[in-house]
Amino acid sequence: MKVTNNSKAPQGLHTVIGVRFVRPGETKELDLTEGQAKRISRLGFIDLEGDPVEDRAPSFAFTEADDKEGVYVPSAEFNAMRSAFEQLRAENADLRKQLDGRSPAADGPKGPFEVKETSPGWHGVFGADGKQIGKNMRADDAEAFKAMTPAEQEQLLAQ
C-alpha cells in the first residue's frame, strides 16, 4: 500500500515486517495487513492507497524430531524475516547518520594541542588554530592532559 504522511512529524507505523517510519510529506510503499490498514486509516494525517496484503502469520511448528525440542520455521519464512531485519538495520543506520549529522571524531578538534595558563592557577587547551577548546582547568588536569597521547587527547576533546 502507498502510505503518505501529511503531518509535520515523522510517524512510526506498524507493518508486516515491523515498525517503519515515514517522514513528513513522504510516501512509502509498505506491506500492511487489513487490521493494520484499518488502524492507520483512523489517523487523519495518513493517506492510504491500494489494498492490504494477506495476513502472513508465521507457520511455526513445534518438533520433537531426534529428541530435540524447538520451533521449526520454514526456510522461506526465515529468509523473509532475515531480509526484513537487514532492511530495517540499513534503514536504522541511515536514520542514525542523518540524526548524528557528522561524526564527532571526524569533525572534532585537531592537534597538535597546547596547554597554556590563561590566568593564575587556570589552564586552557588550545588547538592548532590557536583557539581555546572547552573550558579552563586546574594545573593537575592540565598536566594529566599533557601526559596523554595525541590520539587520546583528540578522543577526549571530541566528547
Per-residue pLDDT tens digits for 43-74: 999 999 999 988 766 555 555 555 556 666 77
Which pLDDT score, from 0 to 100, does residue 104 have? 46
The string of pLDDT tens digits covering residues 82-141 is 888 998 998 888 888 877 765 444 566 777 889 999 999 899 999 888 888 888 999 899
Domain ranges of the chain: 1-57, 58-101, 114-158
**What is the model's pLDDT at position 21?**
92
CA angle 106, 145, 120 (to 5 degrees): 120
What is the spatial distance between Cα 144 and Cα 140, in angstroms, rounded to a whole number?
Answer: 6
3-state secondary structure labels for all residues of 46-107: EEEECCCCCCCCCCCEEECHHHCCEEECCHHHHHHHHHHHHHHHHHHHHHHHHHHCCCHHHH
pLDDT at residue 40 greater than cutoff 90: yes
Whether residue 28 has pLDDT greater than 90:
yes
Is cis: bond before 104, omega within 30 of 0?
Answer: no
Cell 590520539 belongs to which residue?
A: 151
d(Cα 84, Cα 30) in Å, to the nearest integer? 12
Q: What is the pLDDT of residue 3?
A: 95
Q: What is the mean pLDDT of residues 21-35?
A: 92
Q: How far apart are the first and last CA of the chain?
A: 43
Residue 91, pLDDT score:
87
Q: Give the pLDDT mean for 13-40.
A: 91
Phi–psi pair at 104, nearest 5 degrees: -60, -35
